[in-house]
Amino acid sequence: MQILDGQLVSRNIKDSLKLDVAALVAEGRKIPHLAAVLVGNNGASETYVAAKVKACSEIGFKSTLLRVEDSVTENKLLSLIQDLNNDPDVNGILVQLPLPKHISDEKVILAIDPAKDVDGFHPVNAGKLVLGSPGFVSATPHGIMLLLEYYKVETIGKAAAVVGRSNIVGRPMSILLSANNSHGNSTVTLCHSHTRNLKEICLGSDIIVAALGKPGFVKADMVKEGAVIIDVGITRVPDAGKKSGFALRGDVDFAAVSPKCSFITPVPGGVGPMTIAALMKNTFAACVNQN
């Protein structure tokens, strides 16, 4: 069994982007600028956004963190996004999800200029992904593909089960793995809460992507020998032994499943750092496209 080390691969990608930024500077060109919008103070969102801002500073990108009160009106948030769309210095915009209940995710995502939508959530970018046209690919599935490519994990002709059909992870992941290219061409089953024979589908799969947000859901008896396991889950569970009071748990029962696998991502240190690396790659591309 080999660990798919997201920490290591993410570091490599960020080191390479650092050189790319240095080259832009040497040519007197504009450096990438990411604007991150954080609404309220959800603990997990705070952590994710802080990691994104930190990655920008490590690489040499400019970043702006815009903190907005939980009570912000939808119109106010939409007008903030409009300002960022119109600001020629800003290349990438991300609004951290989830948003408070009184704000429509859909309206907010639609308001972002697709050319600055480095999260790849806008329907224009989601549509391009489906059609196989160049566009921004949602950072988590994009990061997973980069990880599979780095470790030369074969996908062509493989049976893949993607468990979870979210717009952010499961659905785009199913499209990427089934795309007609050298790191796709898998036969994908997209599983969800109404899937009847989930265990049998997983048992028949060479690749399982677990993205349903249920800690320890994928058990050893659902996994065949030699499978590739990608664990997207990252749930905070109470842990009195930790200073923070919580531990992070993936969607896969790592201790029981890992001995059966050919490759597996750990939690933390697998998909999480790759999401950040992919976001940084998208932001760099946005800047180059715009200048």
Among 5, 14, 20, 96, the active-site one is: 96
Phi, psi of 16 (to 5 degrees): -70, -40
Residue nearest ligand GUN by beta-carbon distance: 97
Q: Are strands 235-238 and 246-249 parallel, antiparallel or unpaired?
A: antiparallel
Query: What are the b/e assignments for 212-235, b being 16+ CB within 10 Å?
Result: beebbbbeeebbeeebbbbbbbbb
- CB closer to ligand GUN, 65 vs 203: 65
**Residue 34 CB, nearest approach to ligand GUN (Å):** 11
- CB closer to ligand GUN, 32 vs 261: 32
52 catalytic residue (yes or no): yes
- CB closer to ligand GUN, 198 vs 273: 273
**Residue 152 CB, nearest approach to ligand GUN (Å):** 25
- CB closer to ligand GUN, 179 vs 279: 279
**Residue 95 CB, nearest approach to ligand GUN (Å):** 6
**Residue 231 CB, nearest approach to ligand GUN (Å):** 15
Euclidean distance between CA atoms 124 and 282, whole angstroms: 15
Please choose, from the candidates 273, 274, 280, 277, the residue with its C-alpha nearest in 3D space to the C-alpha of residue 31.
280
Among 20, 117, 119, 253, the active-site one is: 119
Please choose, from the candidates 42, 26, 29, 39, the residue with its C-alpha nearest in 3D space to the C-alpha of residue 65.
39
**Residue 97 CB, nearest approach to ligand GUN (Å):** 4
119 catalytic residue (yes or no): yes
DSSP 141-191: HHHHHHHHHHTT---TT-EEEEE---TTTHHHHHHHHHSSSTT---EEEEE
Token pair of 205 as six digits: 């799969």
* 208 close to 230: Cβ distance less than 8 angstroms: yes
Footprint of ligand GUN (CB under 6 A): 94-97, 119, 139-140, 168, 275
- CB closer to ligand GUN, 97 vs 124: 97
Among 5, 14, 20, 52, the active-site one is: 52
Q: Which residues are catalytic?
A: 52, 96, 119
